[in-house]
Homo-oligomer: A and B are copies of this chain.
Amino acid sequence: MRAPAVNVLGMTRFLTETGRLEAFSDGVLAVIITIMVLELRPPQGTDLRSLLPTLPTVATYALSFVFIGIYWNNHHHMLRASRGIDGRAMWANLHLLFWLSLVPFSTAWLGRNPAAAGPTVFYGVILFFDAVAYALLQRALLVVNGRDTPFAKAVAVDIKGRLSIALYVFAIAAGFFSTIVSDAIFVAVAIMWLIPDRRFEPLIKIE
């Protein structure tokens, strides 16, 4: 999808189209976001109150759903704004998908033990690596696009990305003392990202 535009700009040396990469990433993210629901087991009772014990699991699921949704959304905007991808960006993308694929695992553990330090810290650790992997993909795409490009300007000031990583580190440390603080930070980061990333929108308009 990007490739033809790229050819016009005479930048064909190492770029390939992003279409199939996006399609594969969408597929993986769609499976990740959905298989988490398999952790929601029907309660033993048949009473509406028997749903109450599943609430932490449902809440953790909802939080992870929002995080994966945010990654999909930002990934979508970032790849659309990029001129193309190269081999390094392709592996950076798979690296990101790997860490995101561990979200169902950390979600399942936290959902079963919502107030325990270990699962809370681990949940933060996975979110931390997700954010680092996303930053690495962004950097790999920066190399593809080059300096002084609209893409470079768009990602130059990555306040939300850096702040998220810092907040995850803080949430991990806080988890050993108060899981409520960690939970609050996770929710705060999610809310921060629910505001769409305006950086790439002008680029998309250019097309």
Contacts and interface: CB of A to CB of B under 8 A. Distances in A.
A176 B102 CA distance: 32
B76 A20 contact: yes
A21 to B, nearest CB: 8
Nearest to A101: B37
A47 B104 CA distance: 18
Contacts of A150: none
A204 B16 contact: yes
Contact of A117 (B26, B41, B46, B97): B46
Size class of the A contact interface (CB-based, 8 Å): 35 or more
10 contacts: A22-B23, A24-B26, A24-B29, A30-B31, A35-B37, A43-B109, A46-B113, A46-B117, A46-B119, A48-B118
Interface in A89-113: 90-91, 94, 97-98, 101-102, 104-105, 108-109, 112-113
A72 interface: yes
User: What is the predominant secondary structure among interface residues of chain A facing chain B?
Assistant: helix
Copies of this protein, total: 4
User: Sorted from nearest, which 5 A-B pairs have the closest CB atoms?
Assistant: A27-B30, A87-B196, A46-B116, A42-B109, A31-B34
A128 interface: no
Contacts of A194: 91
Interface string A122-149: 1000000000000000000000000000
Interface string A36-51: 0110111101111011
A112 to B, nearest CB: 6
Contacts of A204: 16
A171 interface: no
Nearest to A195: B87
A14 B202 CA distance: 9
A189 interface: no
Given A33-B97, A90-B196, 12 more contacts: A12-B205, A20-B26, A26-B27, A31-B35, A33-B101, A38-B38, A38-B104, A46-B117, A46-B118, A48-B117, A66-B94, A73-B90
